[in-house]
Amino acid sequence: MVDSPLTTLWEHWELVRTPGVYISYNHMWSGGPLTLLSQYVAGISPLEAGYTLFQVMPRMGPLRHIEATVASVRGAIELTLDRKEGVFNMDVRVPETTQALLAVPRAGESVQLNGRVAWRAGAASAELPPGVTFIDADAEYVRFRVPAGRWQAQSR
């Protein structure tokens, strides 16, 4: 099971490929927590059918590092989150033909997207990366709508 390319825990120990034999590759005792972790802790959740638009709004609690991959019909959504003293890093892959609402946790008064200042001291930058729209900011998050691609956000 550990060496398998499958990404969940199986219902049976052996990989059965016999026609007519029922087998699940995502047993419910791990399927429920996996959904909770990806949607609520990592914060990846669909906003439109088929993940055409999805949200990344992490709620890390005391965790300092999270890696998550969510398989969608439009491709894998890959996410890495790191939090250190005064700095939060988010690296997310947004599949082709999708868009994401990124809610970047505030670690200070500045947010960069792909190395460019996107928000500082309560105001969005006049020169956001191409295709990026500033949505809003509150005491916890700074939100942007981003197109397909790889996005690296840093809050400090």
List of domains in the chain: 1-41 (no CATH), 47-155 (2.60.420.10)
pTM given for the model: 0.82
Position 62 pLDDT exceeds 80: yes
Beta bridge partners of 70: 77
Whole-angstrom distance, CA of residue 61 vs CA of residue 63: 6
Give the pLDDT score at 39: 93
Tokens standing for 38?
A: 């990806």
* DSSP SS3 for 80: strand
Give the pLDDT score at 90: 99
Give the pLDDT score at 6: 61
Q: How many residues does the chain have?
A: 156
120 CA to centre of own chain: 23
Cβ neighbours of residue 14 closer than 8 Å, sequence gap 6 or more: none
8 A C-beta contact, residue 24 and residue 10: yes
Tokens standing for 65?
A: 């590092």
Give the pLDDT score at 17: 62
- Mean pLDDT, rounded, for 72-79: 97
Give the pLDDT score at 15: 56
Residue range 90-100, pLDDT digits in tens: 999 999 999 99
Residue range 116-126, pLDDT digits in tens: 999 999 999 99
Give the pLDDT score at 30: 60
Whole-angstrom distance, CA of residue 51 vs CA of residue 28: 23
Position 9 pLDDT exceeds 70: no
Give the pLDDT score at 18: 63
